[in-house]
Amino acid sequence: MKKQALYLLSFVAVVVAVVVMLKVLDWVPGVLEPGLMKKYPSVEAAQSSLGIRRILVPTYFPQTLGWPPAEILAQSEPFPAVVMTFNRAGSSEPLLVISEAASPRFESDVTIRFARVDETVPLDLAGRKATLEAGLCTDHRACSRIRWHEAGMDVRLTMKAPSPDLLRIARSMLH
């Protein structure tokens, strides 16, 4: 009986040691490289933690979108980038992804993918040269995307909705 208790105690000690080690290994990269992409509870927390001066946030939200953002990811290394995901109101379905990145190659809207782009239109967005794309998402619903360059950052909004809603949201970010 004593031998079994000793084996059980040894097993529990090893499991606890492994869990602690995994937690430490998960914590170390954030300490050694504090600017890498990670989740933040608010836009303000991301700004203050990473020293990002300005993050564009819409002031117009259709009733279909939930507030606050369901997820905010940000990084300062290897280049500044912020990704905000907004879900459908009352749901966990991603409906809008807004990203800003200092690299044009940054892929942010992986949660909302286009199956096809039917139309690409250049447009003037409050004095900025922008591109509007409209088409279908991989779930066969209307998708739209707007891209423009703002203060050294590539801004991209991708939404599971027709382009008029997305245009209103984008215009509300530029005040």
In this model, does residue 164 exceed pLDDT 80? yes
In this model, does residue 69 exceed pLDDT 60? yes
Rounded mean pLDDT, 97-115: 86
The DSSP string of the chain is -HHHHHHHHHHHHHHHHHHHHHHHHHHHHHHHSTTS-EEESSHHHHHHHHT-------S---TTB-SS-SEEEEE-SSS-EEEEEEEBTTSS-EEEEEEEESSTT----TTS-EEEEEEEEEEEETTEEEEEEEEEETTSSEEEEEEEEETTEEEEEEESS-HHHHHHHHHHT--
Rounded mean pLDDT, 93-108: 88
User: Which pLDDT score, from 0 to 100, does residue 123 have?
Assistant: 94
Using a cut of 0.85, tell me whether the model's pTM lies above it: no
Domain layout of the chain by residue ranges: 1-32, 38-172
User: Which pLDDT score, from 0 to 100, does residue 9 have?
Assistant: 74
In this model, does residue 11 exceed pLDDT 70? yes
Using 50, 70 and 90 to split pLDDT, how confident is the model at 31?
very low
